[in-house]
Amino acid sequence: MFNGVKENPNLDLKTTLLNILRGKMDLTRISDADISIVLIYLWIFCSPDNIAPVLSTFRDKEIAESIYAAKNKVAKSGISVSENLTHQRPAILNTGREKYGNKWVWSFQGHVLSAFPMRTLHVDFGQLRTCFNIY
Q: How confident is the model at residue 37 (pLDDT cuts 50, 70, 90)?
A: confident
Pair 19, 72 in one domain:
yes
Pair 55, 95 in one domain:
no
Sheet with 35-40: strands ordered across: 35-40, 54-58, 2-3, 80-81
Alpha carbon 130 to its chain centroid, in Å, reads: 24
Pair 104, 122 in one domain:
yes
Pair 19, 71 in one domain:
yes
Helices assigned H by DSSP within 70-126: 89-100
Pair 73, 100 in one domain:
no
pLDDT of 94 reads 83
Q: How confident is the model at residue 46 (pLDDT cuts 50, 70, 90)?
A: low
Q: Which domain holds residue 9?
A: 2-81
Residue whose C-alpha is closest to residue 120's, from 104, 102, 135: 135
pLDDT at 87 over 60: yes
- This prediction's pTM: 0.66
> Into how many domains does the chain fold?
2
pLDDT at 119 over 70: no
Pair 97, 65 in one domain:
no
Pair 45, 21 in one domain:
yes
- Strands (E) located in the chain: 2-3, 35-40, 54-58, 80-81, 105-108, 111-114, 119-125, 128-134
Contact, 59 vs 33, CB < 8 A?
yes
More confident residue, 84 or 65: 65
